[in-house]
Amino acid sequence: MSRRTERLASTIQQELAQIILRDLNDPRLTGLPSITRVKVSPDLSIADVYVTIMGTPGQKTAALNALRHSAGLMRTKLTHSLTLRVAPFVKFHLDEDLKKELELLEVLRKVSEENAELDRRRSANDAEPKGSEPE
């Protein structure tokens, strides 16, 4: 990503967060959606916005549909706030990376617990006095 697209992505992320907080009154947005990252295409025509939404899978789907439904309004507001001739098309996606990270951390925690248990068993076996050997 070039420096310009990185700066634009960061600015879009901040502006969209403000628009979602202030201007969207959709009842489907029950959980507060968090924008985790924005990727802007090299030609600045598309902005892929990744969001995480707390709630049940049904609530996540409803909130994502609400965001997709209001993408046109957000694009119009972005055009005015960013002083761009043409704002990029906004596409919303659920960010599954966070979910994968949490699952990976859970697996690592389980492995750590199993290793600690094995270490305890080994040290307990080593500490047991060995029977005296006959001469």
pLDDT tens, residue by residue, 33-56: 889 999 999 998 999 999 998 888
What whole-number distance in Å separates Cα of residue 29 and Cα of residue 64?
8
Is residue 134 predicted with pLDDT exceeding 60? Answer: no
User: Is the model's pLDDT at 22 over the cut of 70?
Assistant: yes
For residue 31, give the nearest of 11, 49, 51, 8 by alpha carbon. 51
CA distance 128 to 121: 11
Per this entry, what is the length of the chain? 135
Cβ-based neighbours of 92, under 8 Å, separated by 6 or more: 49, 51, 64, 67, 68, 71
Question: What does the pLDDT read at residue 86?
Answer: 83
Tens-digit pLDDT profile for residues 59-68: 888 999 999 9
Both tokens assigned to 30: 């029950």
Q: Over the chain, what is the mean pLDDT?
A: 87
Q: Do residues 35 and 19 lie in contact, with contact meaning Cβ atoms separated by under 8 Å?
A: no
pLDDT, tens digit (0-9, with 9 covering 90-100), for 81-99 = 888 888 899 999 998 887 7
pLDDT at 133 over 70: no
Who contacts 55 (Cβ-Cβ below 8 Å, separation ≥6)?
30, 31, 63
What contacts 65, CB < 8 A, 6 or more positions away?
28
Residues 74-86, mean pLDDT to the nearest whole number = 87
For the residues 24-33, what does the mean pLDDT come to?
82
pLDDT band, residue 57 (cuts 50/70/90): confident
